[in-house]
Amino acid sequence: MDYGEGIEIKVATTHDSSVIINMLKQIAQWMKDNDINQWRFLLDGGDDEEIEQAISNKETYIVLKDHEIVATFTLLSKQSEWDRHIWGDDISSKSLYLHRLAIIPTYMKKGIGKSILTWIQDNAHDKEYLKLDCVTDNVKLNNFYRCNDFELIGVTDGHSKYQKSIKKK
């Protein structure tokens, strides 16, 4: 399946850790500079260990465009502590949880986010839902998920909860 010209998505390796962490921090700084109150904790290394753990668990992916890393995302098949806080306990384990979907600003608005969501849907086996949360007052991000057929399930602790059915027909 073609997800866009020159786009390749693959599992990140520990070799990619510092690139991913630096990219997430750059994007967090970009958000801060653009008055988007999200991911500030990343600037202080708040999630470095968790990011590295997700990479070594093979839950983090890199998106390459012409062999350069332009985006990253993490998919969890089991809830994190944060997911339980936002969603409550999900004992069905029929959901994938999307975290840290991040695209380098110069590659934003070029369809990469949509390509990533399509790729996840095409590659999610044995799962019924893709779930994610984002800061409620990030209007553009909320619109992005709504435009990509995610359903707003509710709001918890200032975070919009979105889900999409990804079950294979």
At residue 169 the predicted structure's pLDDT band, cuts being 50, 70 and 90, is low
Q: What is the pLDDT of residues 64-104, one digit of tens each?
A: 998 899 999 999 999 999 999 999 998 777 999 999 999 99
CA distances from 25 to 7, 20, 44 (A): 23, 9, 9
Percent of the chain with pLDDT over 70: 96
Q: How many helices (H) and strands (E) does the chain have?
A: 6, 7
Q: What does DSSP assign to residue 82?
A: H
Query: Exposed, middle or buried by CB within 10 Å (0-12, 13-18, 19+), for 147?
Result: exposed
For residue range 28-73, list pLDDT tens digits in order: 899 889 888 888 788 887 788 889 999 999 999 999 998 899 999 9
